[in-house]
Amino acid sequence: MASFYVTTPIYYVNDLPHLGHIFTTTVADTLARYHRLAGDDVYFLTGTDEHGQNIERAARKEGVAPIELADRVVSRYFALRDRLGFSNDDFIRTTQERHRKGVEEIIHRIAEKGDLYTARHEGWYCSPCETYYTEKELGPDRTCPVHATPVEWESEENIFFRLANYQQPLLDWYQTHPEFVRPATRLNEVRSFVESGLRDLSVSRASLEWGIPFPGHPGQTVYVWLDALTNYISALGFGSESGELYEKFWAKGGAGDTRLHLIGKDILRHHAVYWPAFLMSAGLPLPTTVWAHGWWYRDGKKMSKSTGNIVRPDDLIDRFGADSVRYFLLREMVFGGDASFSDEGFIDRYNSDLANDLGNTVSRLVTLSRSAFGGRTPPTACDDNPVRAAALRLLPEVHAAMGDLAFSRALEALWRLLAEANQYLVAREPWKLVKSEGPSEALSRILWNGLEAVRLVATGLLPFMPRVAPQVLAAIGVPSAPASFESLAWGGLPNGAELPEPKPIFPRIDKKEYLKADEGTKERETTTLITIDKFFETELKVGTVQAAERVPKSTKLVKLTVDLGEASPRQIVAGIGLAYQPEDLVGKQVAVVANLQPAKLMGIESQGMVLAASIDGKPVLLHPDAQVPAGTQVK
Ligand code: MSP
């Protein structure tokens, strides 16, 4: 029996789950269910990434311990797992003991190989990515190429991994394993990145407390990506005594076995370069495939907390049902590319595919069959007809599409079968035959064909819509959902089985009404409302600028000396150099965020932030309406 191990990225706990996050888990769940039905030995893992600077900062901002923040977010993931019917076999948290053991073990092996050394590290660091970037990779004004937020200059003594030594082995691996990165375009991206030259990678942080202590190096914490990536094997028991799952789903590596990491395209480099290099160094097998999908967009931008355009799954689930959300996600995105979410697009798909194509076909057939055959499925089956021919053609397409992770193509094939069945019904007009002929054999065959097509579609839908597909099957006289795809052969619909009274499975939604009712909530969704107490956590004060000078080698940064009525003035670095001359600022009063954590900008400490209105990125400073004593509170 082939083993099939599928993983999602482990999610950061500084953000509540949004549609982009549950997408990958929905995909993994669908694949896991598909492979279980196909008879494979499946293990499906998801979890949370709980260490690192990001989480540490987010927790500090909320005034809670990092683990409290993590527990809270994890409980939201658990709630969504139940709502969306995710069938994961395990949920790994990087704060668990078993995970720490796995990380220690992999580091031990990498060290044994001689691939670690200590050196000073300097570079531009994006905290949300937990990644260093070279000057050349940065966006305008030294911003992160992924988040477009300012990066920070970091300099510290670190432990390095000899990544450069793996440049050629990685290139050789891509050459001999073209399926290692999918889709193929992503493999090309990875290959050119590696070909352009790999530099050794810092795998520890000295300034971070919230993480796993680096074994044998007091004061150093394991770099969060080395920590996080190891989840894929620590969850299987690597590094712990009970390594049975690890043996079966990772180490064995038989010919037909699969170790598949599903990821978003933003974390490709970590999975397709760093992770295989760590594994090669540790002498461990590599995943068979790293499959990168695109992003969900909304209003033309990547859905993310920082952009404020996220869709929380709960609202959609409340209104349309969990399986409709799953269907939309899997049908709308061509896996590998990007896709857009809009309320309108969602309702259109729901009404046309689910309410109309599937829901109406089921209720029409059930109603006709009940009335003609005494509340039962038709007594006579049929083996030679155009619907069967369509099923024989389309079902192999579903399997082929699933092998390519082309979920939308698989669903399209199922819907084509529905369409063929509908065309057939329109041509044979059973609704007329019921009246003219009563329960004839011809009518029995026609309705049986239609219902059999629905049975096949619903069976094919089991991995996609695990709750609704069995409901559809029950509605057409198949009360227990099959446990294997053997039932995908033509001819399985029982004759004379009881048909329950049809209930609408997908009630039609009035688009206009829905969008109107939604207007109000949408406003609120994009701006997060905060309490007055939360607002007062920010200490705003008026300061008087005593001195100002440009930061050398920077066009934008100005170093200000600002009197905030404290014992000594503050040094504040502001990005206002394109709009203001330093000499014009002296003597001016400005609004300052006074309780901001100090940060370094181009190596200069900034002890606060001056407030400015921003017009297309051009700052316009805020001043009090009249002169006030330095240090006056703003509220
Ligand atoms: N913790 C790391 C992953 C470590 S895996 C060893 C991380 N976490 S994340 O929470 O920021 O992102 C998790 C996944 O969600 C990523 O694959 C990312 O691509 C995905 N998505 C986040 N926003 C998304 C969209 N708008 N659309 C699709 N997926 C996106 O990265």
| Sequence-ordered list of residues with C-beta below 8 angstroms from that of 48, at least 6 positions apart, any chain | 10, 11, 12, 13, 70, 73, 74, 77, 91, 92, 93, 94
d(CA 557, CA 551): 6
Q: Which two tokens stand for residue 220?
A: 């150093």
Percent of the chain topping pLDDT 70: 97
Kindly provide the b/e burial profile for residues 562-572, where b requires at least 16 CB atoms within 10 angstroms of the residue's own CB. bbbeeeebbbb
Q: What is the pLDDT of residues 430-449, one digit of tens each?
A: 999 999 989 999 999 999 99
pLDDT of residue 75: 97
User: How close are the terminal C-alpha atoms of the chain, in Å?
Assistant: 67
Distance 23 CA to ligand 1 centre (A): 10
pLDDT of residue 525: 45
Q: What is the pLDDT of residues 404-422, one digit of tens each?
A: 999 999 999 999 999 999 9
| Average pLDDT rounded to a whole number, residues 224-232 | 98
Q: Is 24 in the pocket of ligand 1 (CB under 6 A)?
A: yes
Catalytic residues: 18, 21, 126, 129, 144, 147, 302, 305
pLDDT of residue 242: 81
pLDDT of residue 524: 41
> What number does the ligand 1 atom closest to the CA of 129 have?
31
Q: What is the pLDDT of residues 190-207, one digit of tens each?
A: 999 999 999 999 999 998
Burial classification of residue 512, based on how many CB atoms lie within 10 Å of its CB (0-12 exposed, 13-18 middle, 19 or more buried): exposed
pLDDT of residue 523: 42
Q: Is 266 in the pocket of ligand 1 (CB under 6 A)?
A: yes
Radius of gyration of the chain (CA): 30
Q: Is 307 in the pocket of ligand 1 (CB under 6 A)?
A: no
Q: Is 608 in the pocket of ligand 1 (CB under 6 A)?
A: no
Phi/psi at 262 (5° precision):
-95, 130
pLDDT of residue 427: 96
Protein residue with its CA nearest to atom 22 in ligand 1: 20
Q: Is residue 28 a contact partner of residue 6, using CB atoms and an 8 Å limit?
A: yes
> What number does the ligand 1 atom closest to the CA of 12 have?
10
> What number does the ligand 1 atom closest to the CA of 303 have?
26
Average pLDDT, the chain: 93
CA dist list (Å): 97 to 6, 11, 212, 227: 22, 18, 10, 12
Question: Could you identify the residue written with the tokens 């809009």?
Answer: 342
Q: Using DSSP bridges, classify how beta strands 618-621 and 612-615 pair: parallel, antiparallel or unpaired.
A: antiparallel
| Average pLDDT rounded to a whole number, residues 111-126 | 94
pLDDT of residue 207: 86
DSSP character at residue 166: G
Q: Is 23 in the pocket of ligand 1 (CB under 6 A)?
A: yes
pLDDT of residue 59: 94
Q: Which two tokens stand for residue 152?
A: 């920070």
